[in-house]
Amino acid sequence: MEVMIQQLINGLFLGSIYALMALGYTMVYGIIKLINFAHGEIYMIGSFIGYFLINSFNTWGILPNAWGFFVAMLISMAASALLGVAVEFLAYRPLRKSTRIAALITAIGVSYLLQNVMIYFFSPDTRPFPQAIARQTFSIGFVSVSNIQLLILGISVSLMIILQLIVQKTRMGKAMRAVSVDTDAAQLMGINVNRTISFTFALGSALAAAGGMLIGLYYNSIDPMMGVAPGLKSFVAAVLGGIGIIPGAALGGFAIGLIETMSTALGFSDYKDALVYAVLIIILLIRPAGILGKNIKEKV
């Protein structure tokens, strides 16, 4: 029982990372009905940007410890946001009027391109992520929680709240909601659709970069292929919660994290990925639109 509760706690921290990435998938899909399979590579590149920044800070003797990590995270989020905008402008915007399969194939191609560019320039080797924040463990009864886990959960939840406020309370957030409902009508009402879509990619990419840095700090390692499995699982989380629905993506992310850790607690660690996809299939058989999704009939 103690192991189950400990793994349940661990699942919340892991799930918060999946939730951050799933938000990027669901926002892009909600706006332009595209699955951005390059999102996992943005997550990976964000962690590499943070890796080089923290090492540079240490070399120069500035911004020690936690300050260096937080400054590096902000810069990584900004740089990844620009990269997300560039990917949308160069790869997806020219195909916006094309078939969905063309855009999907392009997304897969961009994913492999970013992976191989990083492998070419930085080698496929695993690198130790600098531990800018000293790890401490707190025990509450039989449950152990580290300060890194608390940091991950705190930053993830804070970013989710900020995202929700942006979408619900700001002018750009209203534009995002309008474009997601009807692009042509939004354009007729004076909304700059291209800018709104670029802003959506920027937001999602920034969240992915934050997740990449947090997971690098937690596992103390990064590599050019680190975005593949989390990227797929985050996509599963977005579908599980209801693709295109922001609260659904967050819920799906936490659910995937809990499924993984509980599988480990029950002795099925070798099959945890299979269990994640099995749960997805079961949910979609019961609720094809996801946990929070709504079945909408389309006119043809």
Task: Report pLDDT digits (tens) over 166-195.
Answer: 999 999 999 999 998 888 899 988 999 999
Question: Which of 25-39, 81-95, 253-267 tops mean pLDDT?
Answer: 81-95
Paired with 127 in beta bridges are: 222
- Per the domain annotation, does 293 fall within a domain? no
Kindly state whether residue 266 falls inside one of the protein's structural domains. Answer: no
Q: What is the mean pLDDT of the chain?
A: 89
Residue 139, beta-bridge partner list: 144
Distance between CA atoms of residues 115 and 296, nearest Å: 36
Asked whether residue 124 is assigned to any structural domain, the reply reads yes
Confidence of residue 300 (pLDDT cuts 50, 70, 90): very low
Alpha carbon distance 120, 108 (integer Å): 18
Q: How far apart are CA 262 and CA 272, in angstroms?
A: 9
Radius of gyration (Cα) for the chain, nearest Å? 19
Q: Examine the pLDDT at 156 and tell me if it is beyond 60.
A: yes
Query: pLDDT value at position 1?
Result: 66
Domain that holds residue 112: 19-227
Determine, yes or no, domain membership for 298: no
Among 33-37, 159-163, 199-203, the range scoring the smallest mean pLDDT is: 33-37
Residues with Cβ within 8 Å of 106's Cβ and at least 6 positions away in sequence, in order, are 91, 92, 95
Round to whole Å and give the CA distance between 14 and 255. Answer: 10
The pLDDT assigned to 296 comes to 57
Q: Select from 129, 127, 120 the least CA-distant residue to 53.
A: 129
CA distance 56 to 62: 9
Q: How many CB atoms lie within 10 A of CB 234?
A: 30
Give yes or no for residue 196 having a pLDDT over 80. Answer: yes
Rounded Cα distance, 199 and 201, in Å: 5
297 falls in which pLDDT band (50, 70, 90)? low
φ and ψ at residue 61, rounded to 5 degrees? 75, 30
Mean predicted confidence (pLDDT) in 258-266: 85
For the cut 80, the answer to whether the pLDDT of residue 299 exceeds it is: no
- At 216, list the tokens: 């690098």
* SS3 state at 131: coil
- Quick one: pLDDT at residue 145? 87
Q: What would the 3-class secondary structure string for 224-251 be? A: CCCCHHHHHHHHHHHHHHCCCCHHHHHH
* DSSP E strands, 26-176: 137-140, 143-146
* Predicted TM-score (pTM) of this structure: 0.91
Predicted confidence band of residue 80 (pLDDT cuts 50, 70, 90): very high
What is the rounded distance in angstroms from the CA atom of residue 110 to the CA atom of residue 29? 17
- The answer, yes or no, to whether residue 92 has pLDDT greater than 50, is yes
Whole-number percent of the chain with pLDDT over 90: 48
Indicate whether 109 belongs to any domain.
Answer: yes
Is 195 a member of any domain? yes
pLDDT of residue 264: 81
Q: Is the pLDDT of residue 55 over 80?
A: yes
Structural domain tally of the chain? 1
Among 6-15, 65-74, 157-166, 216-225, where is mean pLDDT lowest? 6-15
Both structure tokens of 207? 């969240």
Residue 54 covered by a domain: yes
Q: Given a cut of 70, is residue 298 above it in pLDDT? A: no
50 confidence band (pLDDT: 50, 70, 90): very high
What tokens appear for 111 in the block? 């994913």
Identify whether 239 is part of a domain. no
Q: Is the pLDDT of residue 2 over 80?
A: no
Kindly report the number of other CB atoms within 10 A of residue 263's CB atom. Answer: 21
